[in-house]
Amino acid sequence: MGAVYFYHLTRRPLEATLPMLLEKAVGAGWRCVVRGTDRTALSRLDEALWTFGKDSFLPHALDGGPHDAEQPILLTDQSQMAQCVMSVHGAAVSADDINASERTCILFDGNDPDALQHARGQWKSLTGAGVSAQYWSEESGRWEKKAET
């Protein structure tokens, strides 16, 4: 049974936080899906992942290619599953999705009132369904676990 981790972004943008989390997930041997809601935004993330670090490399691709199933990290606007699912831009995640993966991460912009409200709704819905959840905040300048169910 998996768990969901909520990441409340207030200091660093998604383009800086996502690569850090993906490096840890790939380092754990997990295949990752970055689930978004908008192809244009996913294309921007694709570009950011290619250029995020001088000494780092995260093998990844946008979905729709002939080798999607072999990609260590796949960016998609579909409900594809992997050992680790990263939900960005408010992409839907269900309790069944979480239970089918090792880890699900929901990254949301804490400076966007709509994104914040959406994440609160996801927390309430998922914890209400009995999913194990953690809430992480970077408000202090470093990541701190603020809540756990």
Residue 13 forms beta bridges with which residues?
Answer: none
* Nearest Cα to Cα of residue 85 among 41, 32, 134: 32
d(CA 35, CA 63): 10
pTM above threshold 0.75? yes
For residues 85 and 92, the answer to whether their CB atoms sit within 8 Å is: no
Q: Please name each of the domains of the chain with its CATH number.
A: 3-148 (3.40.50.10110)
Query: Helices 14-27 and 39-51 sit at what angle, rounded to 10 degrees?
Result: 70
Encode the chain (149 residues) as per-residue pLDDT tens digits: 789 999 999 999 999 999 999 999 999 999 999 999 999 999 999 999 988 877 778 999 999 999 999 999 999 999 999 999 999 999 999 999 999 999 999 999 999 999 999 999 999 999 999 999 999 999 888 999 999 99
